[in-house]
Structure 1
Amino acid sequence: MILCIPVFASQQILYDSQVAAIQYGWSADLHWQVGEQLARRDDWRGAVAHWESANPQTPDQLARLVDAYMILQRWDDAITRLRQIITLQPDHTWAHYHLALLIAPSNPLEAEQHLMLAQRSDTYTDDITTLLDLLHHNFSPVRLGLWFSQQERWDLAEHAFYHAALIGDPVAAAYVALAREQQNKNGADWMTYALDHAPQNAQVYYVYGLYLRQIGDLDESVSAFITALTFDPFNPAYNAELGVAYQRVGAYFNAENMFRLAVQYSDNDPLFAEMLAAFYAQEGYRLTPDRLERLQQSRANLPPDPTLRAGFGWALHQLGDSAGGLIEVEAALALEPDNEQALYYKAQILIDMGNIPAAIPILQRLAAQGSTWAQDTLTRLPEVTDEPE
């Protein structure tokens, strides 16, 4: 009932506003008020219609309208209103920054000017530094789109990729497809175009693999990455993503091999070394004992993540290095003392090492927290007392 009150109140305000409009006509203030109510209900198209009718003239109102345009991906309208804000307030750093983001794919020189003006505020310092570097060194809309995708701004990534795809770039078209699927929009036509126009392009098939993974076609994603590697076999990123694809379908030995090749072909790049270590942490317990030395060698590349550390320790234990596994689990607990997975693995390793008395308090602690794993283990240990220590 409590959750319904704001919705009901919003509906009442909308009704009252419509009554007022019938009686007195639509004023700018009334249009703006109705737009705000519609925005609260995520009816952005309705909100924009009313805000446009209000004919906003202040920078704050125009910025509100720009936000709505960007949600709706009405980029040209957003650009027009951002320019209007800057005309009214030339030092409006928010407007300069967002205008730069939108025009950079088609007009990088003007975008650079707006980024320089936006530097007056500390709000965007890190982003502006990166963007200026992108604009100055071999700029392309695709590289800009990739940066947006790293920020998980898939709407802006699609906008950037689209500008490159317009001139017939199949790789950009493939990225448009991926960006659209990331937003739950259909990207099939764009991907078909990319594959039809670049049937032997490794990067197109690489993006195709990512696209297939996004739509849930894991088996076909494996095939796509394999095809990419037939055209560019020593690319570490392609090898690594094939490793991820194999991992997703349960082909763990193949996955390990591809991650190791990615490390080899990248000259031990930390990014790929960390991916291999993370794989061992997640899936190492599924491998055979002859992989133990490989796991031990990758230990230094693990990130400071307690869950990965715990998983890595469990993998070491499963492959025969219980002492090393216990060290890793302790390292995980040093990062996060209440990590349930690490506590559970520690207890299990202690049990397997014959130190049941040391494991019991840990299992009792987990059971008190509602861990079904711990409770199951407790019921199978005759040494357990009724009360936690």
Structure 2
Amino acid sequence: MVSISEALASAFRAYQTENLFEAEWTCQQIVQQQPDYVPALHLLGAIAYQTGRLDTAIARYQQILSVDPNHAEAHNNLAVALQDREDWRQARMHFQRALELNPNHAPTYFNFGNLLLQQKDWGGAIAQYQQAIALNPNYARAHNNLANALRQQRQLDAAIEHYHKAIALEPNNPQTYNNLGNALQEVGQFEAAIAQYQKSLTLQADNPEVYFNLGNAMGSLGQFEAAITYYHSALNLGFNRAEVHNNLGLVLRECRYLEQAVEHFQQAIALNPDNVEPYVNLGIVLYEQNDLVGAITQCRRAIALNPDHADAHLNLSFALLASGDLEQGFAEYEWRWKYKEFGIQLEKPRWDGSDLQGKTILLFAEMGLGDAIHFIRYVPLVAQRGGQILVDCRPELVRLFSEIPEVNQVIPRGTTHPPYDVYTPLFSLPHLFGHTLDTIPAQVPYLSVSNTGVQLPERDPNILNVGIVWASAMPSRELTTPDAYRRYLIHSYKSRTAPLPIFMALQSVPNIKLYSLQAGSHAADISLYGFEQNLVDLSSHIQDLADTATLISQLDLVISVDTAVAHLTGALGKPIWVVLPFACDWRWMQQREDSPWYPTMRLFRQDAAGDWAGAIAKVVDALRNWKH
């Protein structure tokens, strides 16, 4: 006759060798003889939990507690099972009772921390993990989960420290390397993060989440093709989640694989139709494909899901403006002020368009140089409301804007403002005045400049003297904008910059002399491509945009990509031909060859994305037939 103690020992041996069927059968035999035998009930509860039978496990632990209400381990194990059933209140109660009975049991603190972590009680979870580690400093999983909670509270340096401790204690756990990689990404250490992900893959090569995280890190480093490969690996391993498709769509867009990007944003929406981001991203790509109707539709869907989503409103504004709906488009653009970091927020009240008699208004040129030149046209309309006008702008514009009769003072950006009563950004003036395509203030010239003493060298009055600009300016690092909008500006810079050798096809036109008005780093393209003999470099003559204006006044025509020089030439009332990318800035709209903003402007568009040669060929043909 086998004793109960011998039968229990046999059951434990079977359990330890993972022969769960035999272990469970033996324990059942024991409880048939002695129904309240706690060790057998406890082992039956553990086996039931391991095999996914939560209700059975819970019943076993409850049976133990009916026999022995002070069984600390039963309280702990019952709490774990209740947690899996999402019975948070009861689970918390049993963890607390287990710790009352045995306050020195590190695993119970660890398990309680897991419950609190699941409930997003980050501070409570941190306290429990810290107690577990105080009792057992070598508790690797507690260090890892403590780091997870610290990450949620943005205590990233401390999280990274505990991930390293967990790895030192348990160097073969692939998940900890993955977690450390995520924390390193969050502090911007992308190369270090990639190294941790690769260590994780050496231990577990088929974890799709790690491939997804690698894709994110590679994308942050601008290694977009590598990111695409990793995202596809995650999908191929079954990680078919909305965030993978969304992030893959983002890097496909960076590589200009726009059709594929559309497909993955649509996949992301299908998998999670309540997530706003893929709608916004899809709208952006449709805009870049000149599908304004589609872009507007997607942005409105995003806004329907989240009426306060500033990115959705901003991208809707661009699509509406490009479609010619200026009134609604400029209204939507006011959502930029939902970003604390967008432009500037001054202490004085924003102007609401009311009478300014006896007041001083500060007009703030919030965006790029071209934007400031574009909307400084509104100064005479502001002056009609009375009051004194101050203009805050970048130093390159100070002399130019000082020539505007209605402006009382121009303040260089970053210097102290004189006293004023109200302010408004220049970009908000079209909204305040409620202008439509039919009421745009398009009288030119609205800028002029006294001769700054800069003379156009080698000018021949008997031939066509043409100024050219082939490259946009990279957005200034000092320009304070949200990250999403800065990415938009960088995309815009790339799409608006043409190779100089393609632009130099203009020299094939008879009786033409080309002058470079190009400023910034791209002025060096002249020597880089060896065009010193074919193109007069004016960059050394230009200190600011007043000098540029003086030189433009001596030219017959300016041909430029979409940049500040194009706006300046149009504002001066001089002939300006603008060469546009396939999906251009909102202000040039679609299909038009003219601009409602600048009467002397002519637009030349690419027929396909990146087709600068085709667009310049149109310009060359027009030059051959131009009567000036």
Query: TM-score normalised by the shorter chain: which range applies?
Result: 0.5 to 0.7
**Structure with more contact order per residue of length (Cα contacts < 8 Å, sep ≥ 6):** 2
Which whole-Å deviations, capped at 9, do the CAs of 1:142-197 have from their partners, x for residues lacking one?
Answer: 56544433444333333444466528442332222343454426245533432223
Q: How far apart are the structure 2 equivalents of 1:210 and 1:300? A: 27
Cα distance, 1:226 vs structure 2: 0.5
Q: How many residues align?
A: 261
Cα distance, 1:206 vs structure 2: 1.9
Report the counterpart of residue 274 of structure 1 in structure 2: 175
Q: Does 1:384 align with 2:289?
A: yes
Note closer, same or farther for the CA distance 1:323–1:131 as it changes in structure 2 (3 Å cut): farther
**Structure 1, 236-245 or 158-167: larger mean CA deviation:** 158-167
DSSP 3-state at the match of 1:203 = helix
> Among 305, 308, 316, which residue is 2:218 paired with?
316
Q: Does 1:205 align with 2:98?
A: no
Kindly indicate whether the alpha-carbon contact (under 8 Å) linking 2:126 and 2:149 is maintained by their aligned counterparts in 1: yes
Report the counterpart of residue 572 of structure 2 in structure 1: none
Kindly indicate whether the alpha-carbon contact (under 8 Å) linking 2:107 and 2:132 is maintained by their aligned counterparts in 1: yes
Report the counterpart of residue 79 of structure 2 in structure 1: 177
Cα distance, 1:221 vs structure 2: 1.5
Q: How far apart are the structure 1 equivalents of 2:239 and 2:90? A: 44
Q: Does 1:157 align with 2:50?
A: no
**Unpaired segments ≥5 residues, structure 2:** 29-38, 270-275, 295-628
Q: How far apart are the structure 2 equivalents of 1:286 and 1:134? A: 50
Report the counterpart of residue 196 of structure 1 in structure 2: 100
Kindly indicate whether the alpha-carbon contact (under 8 Å) linking 1:229 and 1:235 is maintained by their aligned counterparts in 2: yes
Q: How far apart are the structure 1 equivalents of 2:107 and 2:160? A: 22
Cα distance, 1:265 vs structure 2: 0.9
Which whole-Å deviations, capped at 9, do the CAs of 1:290-316 have from their partners, x for residues lacking one?
Answer: 633333433434563545532331133
Q: Could you tell me which amino acid in structure 1 is paired with residue 58 of structure 2?
A: E
Note closer, same or farther for the CA distance 1:188–1:367 as it changes in structure 2 (3 Å cut): closer
Answer with 1 or 2: which has the greater Rg.
2
Note closer, same or farther for the CA distance 1:227–1:128 as it changes in structure 2 (3 Å cut): same
Kindly indicate whether the alpha-carbon contact (under 8 Å) linking 2:114 and 2:125 is maintained by their aligned counterparts in 1: yes
Instruction: Give me the CA root mean square deviation.
Output: 4.2
Note closer, same or farther for the CA distance 1:320–1:148 as it changes in structure 2 (3 Å cut): farther
Q: Could you tell me which amino acid in structure 2 is paired with residue 206 of structure 1?
A: F
Cα distance, 1:289 vs structure 2: 1.9
Cα distance, 1:239 vs structure 2: 2.0
Q: How far apart are the structure 2 equivalents of 1:142 and 1:110? A: 11
> Among 21, 32, 55, which residue is 1:128 paired with?
21
Note closer, same or farther for the CA distance 1:131–1:273 as it changes in structure 2 (3 Å cut): farther
Kindly indicate whether the alpha-carbon contact (under 8 Å) linking 1:174 and 1:191 is maintained by their aligned counterparts in 2: yes
TM-score, normalised with respect to structure 2: 0.35
Q: Does 1:239 align with 2:137?
A: no
DSSP 3-state at the match of 1:186 = helix
Cα distance, 1:351 vs structure 2: 3.9
Q: Could you tell me which amino acid in structure 2 is paired with residue 347 of structure 1?
A: G
The structure where strand makes up a greater share of residues is: 2
Kindly indicate whether the alpha-carbon contact (under 8 Å) linking 1:171 and 1:203 is maintained by their aligned counterparts in 2: no
DSSP 3-state at the match of 1:204 = helix
The structure where helix makes up a greater share of residues is: 1
**Structure 1, 250-259 or 203-212: larger mean CA deviation:** 250-259
Note closer, same or farther for the CA distance 1:326–1:180 as it changes in structure 2 (3 Å cut): closer
Q: Does 1:349 align with 2:254?
A: no
Note closer, same or farther for the CA distance 1:242–1:111 as it changes in structure 2 (3 Å cut): same
Note closer, same or farther for the CA distance 1:341–1:133 as it changes in structure 2 (3 Å cut): farther
> Among 287, 290, 313, which residue is 2:187 paired with?
287
**Unpaired segments ≥5 residues, structure 1:** 1-105, 117-124
